């Protein structure tokens, strides 16, 4: 039997139903010659481990007793695997027919490509703009979070989170929801930076690949369904919210800060801290409102007999 070409890594946390659907789609649309599918469960304690064991015995399951985060969990499998290609895949994705074969063919035809990604489609049929990105700058980040950069007619320097100027081909970065990597390049550049618990580690890896001369490629002809925020939720919990903003801070400090003057560095750090405070407050209010709404729905109607 020939060696498998692909290791697929799925990191799960309390998303049993989404993970089941993802694994079913992989079973329905495997690449030619098959792939080794790995699931790293980050201490979900919601029956995910049991579901994988019972329904998908062919999957290589690693049940962690702690939440390792995205980077550490992926690296755990990358170090254990041996296939020439590694796919980091979110559990809130659904594979489509031929997607894996097309992406693997792309990698084999273009040996200069170290990372590739595809068109990510939201459940309503619209495009997930996070599928492709330009490397952010302080100005681009400010434009994005003030929503100016999200306007359809925003110039490229303000719309880096959407990279609208890239229709296909070389791009700065693709999304970690579907990130196909060449093991040879990982061996050369290194794995995910485990200093990121969650968020920005995909952007960081693409940046380091670019610095090492590897190309990241975006192919819109290949489609994968992505349930946006399917695992983290619409309203981030404090730890996740902190991780998102810490990822921004770490990326800037690691790659940009040394080239900026002290005033700009101070402005960037202050801006990240301010945004964290606003985001924490907004998320707390949203969670409070959701709890109140839920309690009202569960409350008995006036005069309702509960006996």
pLDDT digits (tens, 9 = 90+) for 201-210: 999 999 999 9
196 occurs within a structural domain: yes
* Euclidean distance between CA atoms 123 and 226, whole angstroms: 7
pLDDT for the residue 154: 80
- On whether residue 303 sits in a domain, the answer given is no
Are residue 97 and residue 221 in the same domain, yes or no? Answer: yes
Q: Is the pTM of this model over 0.85?
A: yes
Residue 3: per-residue pLDDT: 80
Q: List the pLDDT tens digit at each of the 307 positions of the chain.
A: 358 999 999 999 999 999 999 999 999 999 999 999 999 999 999 999 999 999 999 999 999 999 999 999 999 999 999 999 999 999 999 999 999 999 999 999 999 999 999 999 999 999 999 999 999 887 877 787 787 887 777 887 788 778 888 899 999 999 999 999 999 999 999 999 999 999 999 999 999 999 999 999 999 999 999 997 655 555 668 888 899 999 999 999 999 999 999 999 999 999 999 989 988 888 778 776 777 766 666 555 444 443 3
Same domain, 60 and 205: yes
- Domain annotation covers residue 274: yes
User: Is 175 in contact with 218 (CB distance < 8 Å)?
Assistant: no
Predicted local distance difference test score (pLDDT) of residue 305: 44
- b/e map of 195-218 (b: 16 or more CB within 10 Å)? ebbbbbbbbbbbbbbbeeebbbbb
Q: Give the per-residue pLDDT at 235.
A: 61
- Looking at the structure of the chain, the number of domains it has is 2
Q: Are residues 95 and 55 in the same domain?
A: yes
Do 123 and 263 lie in a common domain? no
Q: Buried b / exposed e across 117-126, counting CB within 10 Å, b at 16+?
A: bbbbbeeeee
Task: Return the beta strands (E) in 122-177 as ranges.
Answer: 132-133, 169-170, 173-174
Residue 152 lies in a domain: no
Rounded to an integer, what distance in angstroms lies between the CA atom of residue 253 and that of residue 265?
9
Residue after which a domain boundary falls, among 198, 226, 254:
226
The whole domain housing 243 covers 238-294
Tell whether 145 is covered by a domain: no
């Amino acid at each position: 039997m020939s060696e498998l070409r692909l290791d697929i890594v799925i990191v799960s946390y309390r998303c049993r139903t989404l993970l089941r659907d993802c694994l079913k789609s992989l079973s329905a649309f495997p690449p030619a010659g098959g792939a080794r599918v790995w699931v790293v469960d980050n201490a979900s304690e919601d029956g995910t481990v049991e579901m994988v064991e019972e329904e998908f015995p062919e999957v290589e399951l690693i049940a962690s007793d702690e939440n390792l985060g995205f980077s550490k969990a992926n690296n755990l499998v990358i170090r254990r695997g041996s296939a020439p290609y590694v796919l980091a895949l979110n559990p809130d994705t659904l594979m489509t027919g031929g997607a894996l074969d097309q992406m693997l063919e792309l990698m084999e035809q273009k040996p200069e490509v170290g990372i590739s990604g595809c068109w990510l489609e939201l459940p309503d049929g619209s495009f997930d703009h996070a599928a492709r990105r330009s490397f952010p700058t302080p100005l681009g980040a400010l434009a994005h979070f003030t929503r100016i950069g999200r306007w359809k007619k925003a110039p490229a320097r303000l719309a880096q989170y959407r990279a609208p100027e890239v229709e296909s081909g070389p791009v700065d970065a693709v999304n970690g929801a579907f990130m196909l990597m060449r093991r040879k390049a990982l061996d050369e550049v290194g794995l995910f930076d485990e200093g990121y618990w969650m968020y920005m580690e995909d952007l960081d890896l693409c940046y380091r690949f670019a610095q090492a001369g590897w190309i990241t490629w975006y192919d819109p002809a290949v489609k994968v369904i992505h349930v946006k925020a399917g695992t983290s939720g619409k309203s981030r919990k404090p730890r996740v919210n902190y991780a998102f903003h810490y990822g921004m801070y770490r990326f800037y400090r690691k790659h940009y800060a040394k080239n900026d003057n002290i005033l700009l560095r101070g402005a960037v750090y202050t801006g990240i801290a301010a945004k964290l405070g606003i985001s924490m407050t907004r998320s707390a209010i949203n969670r409070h409102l959701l709890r109140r709404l839920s309690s009202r729905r569960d409350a008995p109607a006036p005069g309702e007999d509960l006996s």
